Amino acid sequence: MRDEELREIDWSSKKDLTDLLMREYTQFRQEINLHIGYMKNHVRNSQIFITSALTIVYYLSTTKDYALSEQNQYLWIAISLTTTTITYYLLYDIIESFFSVQVLSELTSSIESQINSIIGTKVIIYESSIAQKLWPHVMPFNGVLQPNWVMGFYPSISIFAITIVFPLFIYYSIWKMTNSGWVLPSILLLCGLYSVISILVASYVYIGTLRRLRHPVRHLIDEAWKESQQQK
């Protein structure tokens, strides 16, 4: 909103305040829809990459010239590292959009509460009263499973397989081929730690975004609202 429009607002008028909040509410709802669209695109891109990676790995592993051996062991280390890195980059791209959706949802929920408080009755209830009871729970009603939770199970298996099972199998197979020296085993150990640490950090970020984000965001919004009221 432009400064000129803000200066024209009568801050003692419930109508002006409600109109202002409704405009902000509409804008944030549009941003939520945009981020949901981004998130779905990121999910699609991740599915394409994982499918392509699995196809390439299968082709290489069944081709005599590229099958895992002492001659091309560094190629397979590079493939494992690249696959793990790109997979988690795409995953964080999805989580970043989800993070934005969570923050914007809490902001619209707060605006709903403010509008309802000004009007004196609940007229806007989706984010503040309905969405928070539906989306965060695995089973919001008896006999009803939340589809997003079930759907998220299968990508988790794919990510675990392509970033943990596959690379650790490659590193272990190469380690068994190693006859002497400490350089290659050290590289394999570091690569294995990279895979394990990557999935642990990604799990922590995902759980924090999914389960622990909205409450502190709401506290931050409420504190900012109180400060703005005190400055009037």
pLDDT in tens, 122-172: 888 888 888 877 777 778 788 888 887 777 788 888 889 999 999 999 999
State the residue range of the domain holding 132: 3-230
**Helical segments of the chain, H only:** 3-7, 14-61, 73-119, 132-134, 147-160, 166-177, 183-207, 214-230
- Identity of residue 148: N
CB 116 within 8 A of CB 123: yes
In this prediction the pTM is 0.81
How many percent of the chain have pLDDT more than 70?
92
**CA 9 – CA 119 distance, rounded (Å):** 17
Separation in Å, CA 113 to CA 9, 63, 110, 117: 20, 62, 5, 6
pLDDT of residue 206: 92
| Separation of alpha carbons 16 and 185, rounded Å | 69
Give the pLDDT score at 156: 87
Domain count, the chain: 1
How many angstroms separate the CA atoms of 45 and 48, rounded?
A: 5
7-64 residue pLDDT tens: 555 555 677 778 878 888 888 889 999 988 988 888 888 888 888 888 888 888 888 8
Q: Which SS3 state, helix, strand or coil, does residue 11 take?
A: coil
Contact of 195 with 168, CB cutoff 8 Å: yes
Do residues 221 and 107 touch, judged by C-beta distance below 8 A? Answer: yes
- Half-sphere exposure (CA, 13 Å, Cβ side) for 101? 20
